[in-house]
Amino acid sequence: MLPLTADDPRRISAHTLLARIGGGGMGRVYLGRSRSGRLLAVKVVHPDHAGDPEFGERFAREVRAVQGISGAFTAPIVDAGPTDDPPWLATGYVPSVSLAEAVHRAGPLPEAAVAYLGLGLGEALRSVHAAGITHRDLKPSNILLAADGPRVIDFGVARSFDETPMTRTGQMVGTAAYMSPEQANGHRAGPASDVFALGGVLHFALTGRAPFPGDDHTVLFRIVRDEPDLGAVPGPLRDIVRRCLAKDPGLRPAPADLVAELARTVPAASGLSPAPYPGAPAVPGQPGPALVWPPLPVRGLITERERQARYFQENARAAGPGGAGAPRRGRTRLLVTFAAASTVLVIGAAALVAAQLTGVSPWAAADGSADGAGSPGAEDGVAPPRPWDGGVDPDGLDVESAFLHIEGHDPVASLAFDPVESDVIYAARLGRLDRWPIPPAPEGEFPTAESDEQTDIDGDGDTLVRSVATAPEGGTVATSTTSGEIRVIDSSSGAVRTVAPAEGDGGFPDASQRSLEERFPDGRTVMFAPDGRTLYAAGSRGVTRYDTATGEERPLGSPVAGDAVSLHPEGTRLLVTDGGTVRIVDAESGEEAGAFDSGASGRISAVYSGDGTRIITAGSDTVVRVFDAETFEAEQELTSHTSAVIAIAASPNGRVLATADQSGLITTWNLDTGAPLLENDNQPNPVRALAWDAEGARLAAGYENSLIMVWTRR
């Protein structure tokens, strides 16, 4: 869910729009609010299609189809304007995540949960077919997983049983991977086609892939000719999926029979007996749906949507009448531990347009306090950035929040500021390396971001970028791919040189619940030494040095390897972690100079403070620990996180620490006192990267969902 951009409408009919939920080539879906305060999902047709008569009829057909359907597992229409300009429809908003996204981010669902999913989808098809409608495009992205069961959505290509087909001869409607054989052959798609698609959906939920692999032409051939590979489908559900995928429509089970069979199958899949379908009333003394639905990995994603909807709703209330109307500049007093002003910018992968969030700050004081008062700022232009510190300012912190629309969903794996041009940031987004300017935000204007140079380091777009680093004096950018290949880019000319070849494969980019190290075991973290020429690369095969001018490999005197590695600000030492142990290693010889037990459980990472006087550790046990870098004595335990801390970064002046966790919470700390300064959890999504600029005036965060946020202190 993303804030509205300047191009988005603020109202549709009587409904106020609050945020973007998603969209595609045909239109966009918004979080909306009715006059009575009810949250809605408002689907608005893209202006390019609004004047197309054929598309208009298709949209009107969707409205008619949904209005005729009732049932617990579809999304009923609340209001619609099929003949308005642009056409739109609104359904009640249910916090949920699509099956496609859930499997992409959390992996295949447990067997018992898939059985419940099948029950809900079977009930949905009973309702759809009872209304005389065939869906014709049932697929993972058209199925929402909510706390009380699934919802079937998007009836844009649905058709009444007795309706004359609108498609031209030879034109197929639907998604190739989930089409039935009769659809693939260009024949009429009846209710049995939806059952075939349901079988494909269950296969996807259980295995993470469609039953017939390949490109569209290959898939259609296999759907018609081949039997699906059900080897990865567990026993109790295999026969059901097999019969749903029968080539002959007459051999597929009817939805009512499917529901009855799944109701008997669920106990075998879950070890529970008996078990009702999702949303059914609980039976006293008997296990109910809550035990297996929603499945545990999906619960967090649903909670994420709930938090996002609540945030945008509260933001609109705080903004007063007009709520999420035209973007405007807002000031919010936050706390008394930072001075002056801060600007937050979110940047993405294409030309973007900013939208202002006002009223509710994305940052909150660590003690929970926040009010609507502003503090003095630069009224006649943009104040120059100033280093963050742990000082106290009674007037609080002035934040200007700009969110920009994003195209694509490549996770941000690594960030690095240009040391000379501090308003430029490099982002390794797992699909490419982007160079982004950070525009000024003078009073009354909005920052926008356009990529002035998008560098595809692979040339064909297939290489995943694991990490990025910039030379201290500027001019050179180093990257490592997820397969371990290291390249050096001249930031002026864009010339690319390979310094080291790949060491392995590309890892597991879709396993978003794992750490970057687990997802990309052959990827390497790159770090420049202060001389700007020596580059350290750390990965599962150990630490290696390279001369970026000559490409020469310069191995350390002794092999060095560990879970995570970081470099001292002066380039003299390396921090190497093994489980909860921290080792200090000479950066030239590789010899160990000391070691200590951090007291943490599980895997940790460690960094030096910007002045090199402290060592900070963090990891899966959620506690951030601070140690004296010489004596290894524990100084502080910082506790604000409730999930694994997966990113840490210390400001160059050694005064401020930033930490971020799996849930999306970012906390900044005063390293001298251990006091938390600011907290930000407005993006409930794992933070994969944190970075400071060379002056410590800007802090950047990169998220799993491809967002990049930059805060500038002025």
The SS3 assignment for 571 reads: coil
Nearest to 65 by CA among 145, 149, 190, 163: 163
Element (H, E) at 648: strand 645-650
DSSP category for residue 291: G
Distance between alpha carbon 12 and the CA centroid of its chain, in Å? Answer: 28
Nearest to 311 by CA among 680, 15, 624: 680
CA atoms within 13 A of residue 244's CA, in its CB half-sphere: 29
Nearest to 279 by CA among 53, 97, 124: 124
Burial of 696 (0-12, 13-18, 19+ CB in 10 A): buried
Residue 48's contacts (CB-CB under 8 Å, 6 or more residues apart) are: none
Q: What is the dihedral of CA 76, 81, 86, 89, to 10 degrees?
A: -10
The SS3 assignment for 636 reads: strand
The yes-or-no answer on residue 148 being catalytic is no
Cα(714)–Cα(690) distance, integer angstroms:
19
Element (H, E) at 35: none
Q: Which is the catalytic residue, given 137, 194, 398, 621?
A: 137
DSSP category for residue 664: S
546 and 535 Cβ atoms separated by less than 8 Å: yes
The SS3 assignment for 628 reads: strand
Burial of 215 (0-12, 13-18, 19+ CB in 10 A): exposed
Residue 95's contacts (CB-CB under 8 Å, 6 or more residues apart) are: 146, 147, 302, 303, 305, 306, 309
48 and 24 Cβ atoms separated by less than 8 Å: no
How many CB atoms sit inside 10 A of residue 82's CB? 16
Burial of 62 (0-12, 13-18, 19+ CB in 10 A): buried
Residue 556's contacts (CB-CB under 8 Å, 6 or more residues apart) are: 543, 544, 545, 587, 588, 589, 590
Nearest to 408 by CA among 471, 454, 459: 454
Question: Per the annotation, where are the binding residues for ATP?
Answer: 43
Can you state the angle between helices 235-244 and 191-207, rounded to 10 degrees?
150
Q: What is the dihedral of CA 661, 665, 670, 674, to 10 degrees?
A: -60
3-state secondary structure 231-280: CCCCHHHHHHHHHHCCCCHHHCCCHHHHHHHHHHHHHHHHCCCCCCCCCC
Burial of 420 (0-12, 13-18, 19+ CB in 10 A): middle
Burial of 84 (0-12, 13-18, 19+ CB in 10 A): middle
- The catalytic site residues sit at 137
